[in-house]
Amino acid sequence: MLSVIIFLPLAASALLALVPRIAGPVARWLWLAVAAVEVVLVAVVWAGRPTGGGLGFEERVPWIPGVGVGYHVGVDGLSLPLLALTAVIFLACAVYAFRDHDRPRTQSALFLFLQGTCLGLFAAQDLIVFFVFFDLSIVGMYFAIARWGHGDAARSAFKFFLYTFLGSLSLLAGFIGLYVASSPHTFDMVELTAAAPLSLSPVAGGFVLAAILLGLAIKTPTIPFHTWLPPAHTDAPAIGSAVLAGVLLKMGTYGFVRIAMPMLPGSWRDWAVPIIVVGVVSVLYGALVALGQSNLKRMIAYTSVNHMGYIVLAVGIAGLIGSSDAVAREVAVTGAVTQMVSHGLITGALFLLAGVLHERRDSYDLDGYGGLAGSAPRLATLFSVGAFASLGLPGFVSFIAEFQIFTGSIAVAPVTAIALLGILITAALFLRAVQRLFGGPLRGRSVGFVDLRAHETLSTGVLLALAVVLGVLPRPLLDVIEPAARTVVSLVSR
């Protein structure tokens, strides 16, 4: 089943790439159909997941047996929510881009390719399989920005590629370190997690963790490795920004809980305090810089630095095992994984809505608009919902995530309460943006502005509706995440 989920979009992408006679509308329908099927297939996997929280739907095929590499995939409570998020985000993007006439066959093929690589990474249970999909996603996003972006897209795509490719090389060095330390040598993630091969070598373990953390921190991104993100988001097409924020950034945070924490528990505990500091700084810095932006897309991009900081804070807390409460650390990790889902849904929707401004008026400048609530009430409503969701109001899944992160973090390290200021600053920046865009009299680029069309309303509305449903009824999501979070915390505590 997992191989079908991974390779169906890849096969559809190859078909579109190799058959140039396929018309643009047919390509759009194919992308939409495959994305819809993927949602159904992931729902089937969700329904059939193991009840005990272990690894399910495993598939193993020897690939490079001489160096212990195999095609090994499976899902658990860490990966399944991100598989579902990926399927939903790409379906929303397929709907949003349905009427886009800019090279539709090529674009559909590229995003189907991206979808397959993202799904493959979250299902991977072998480090080299993880690395292959990690690198392929970089290539796919590079072309998405360079070919369909605007502004200085070529420069932004180049910077994105160099930064994240450097991160992938660092990641590979860390993976090789784990391979060399294991006995017998293997890249299998399940075996490496069980063995924790560098537990008795703190110096070597520290170097390996440093390499892995560098690669994941660039991808997340955290301070000070975030500088590629704002230009990449600003110049990317709307669907590119939605996928980058909603899915690709999660590859970094997912790597923390899947690889770094369980495979290098001793080194993670040693590095816990610096990781927490980076998380708190990212929270506050991302919010403060976002507050000073007049470009809507750059503002949303910096809020991603802020929201990823919450996740880094929470996973760092899991390493403080001295006199801390294990239950509190489990709550923090559960909140971190929930935040990955929350951020993907809400920020993905906000980037799609921001794309409407550029599609209509070629500008994200907040000062160029005003009074849009009168001429574009659907846009005003959905953007306001997304803004309030992003700042973590009750009733949204973001509240569930941030409540768990701060409950667990403050219980273990009360000083982390300083990061609560990030929520206050986020509230200020979103209220400011809503007032400037939608309040007051109609002026500037808002005159004659066309409201959301059906496909734009549907794609963004579904994402925000899911954020509300999971905020009101979080139990189905938490039932999947909590057992996996408990396992991760127990592995870090070894």
pLDDT per position as a tens digit, 68-109? 899 999 999 999 999 999 999 999 999 999 998 889 999 999
pLDDT for 323 equals: 58
Provide the number of structural domains found in the chain.
1
Over the stretch 274-324, which tens digit does the pLDDT of each residue have? 999 999 999 999 999 999 999 999 999 999 999 999 999 999 999 998 756
pTM: 0.95
Of 469, 338, 342, the closest CA to residue 407 belongs to 338
Half-sphere exposure of residue 271, counting CA atoms within 13 Å on the CB side? 26
User: Residue 206: what pLDDT?
Assistant: 94
* Burial tier of 475 (Cβ tally within 10 Å: 0-12, 13-18, 19+): exposed
Print the domain residue range for 38: 2-492
Nearest to 265 by CA among 221, 206, 184, 343: 206
Alpha carbons 43 and 78: distance in angstroms, whole number: 16
Q: Name the DSSP class of 5.
A: H
Q: Where are the alpha helices (DSSP H) in 372-453?
A: 372-375, 377-390, 397-412, 421-438
Backbone angles phi, psi at 84, to 5 degrees: -65, -45
Residue with tokens 């590859």: 251
Helix pair angle (153-181, 202-219), 10° resolution: 160
Rounded distance between C-alpha atoms, residue 13 and residue 429, angstroms: 39
Taking the mean position of all CA atoms in its chain, how far away is CA 296?
20
Q: How confident is the model at residue 326 (pLDDT cuts 50, 70, 90)?
A: confident
